Structure 1
């Protein structure tokens, strides 16, 4: 399982990218963030810091 960011909920704050230990999160279209599922190690750090709860296990 990997984590995914709901683009409709994401506010583009970048908090998730700042805590990802493997740099699996980057800014995508329209300033929304995306997770590279091949790089994600399922640690959940990103979900823990998201202020709008836009990140969940896929």
Structure 2
């Protein structure tokens, strides 16, 4: 399973990208996306992107 970013809720702050330990989050044309192939969900711990995102519910499990 991987995580996903809801583009309708994302404010494009970039916080998720900067805290991702696997560099799985990238911005393209103003939209942040999570690469499911490299996202480890922080190896069973609390995902850093979810913990640090200022918008509740913006990042969720796919």
Provide the TM-score with structure 1 as the length reference. Answer: 0.91
The yes-or-no answer on 1:27 pairing with 2:31 is: no
Provide the TM-score with structure 2 as the length reference. Answer: 0.85
Unmatched tracts of structure 2, length 5 or more: none
Q: CA RMSD in A?
A: 0.8
Unmatched tracts of structure 1, length 5 or more: none
Count, aligned residues: 57
Larger Rg: 2
SS at match of 2:8: coil
- State the distance in 1 between where 2:53 and 2:21 align: 15
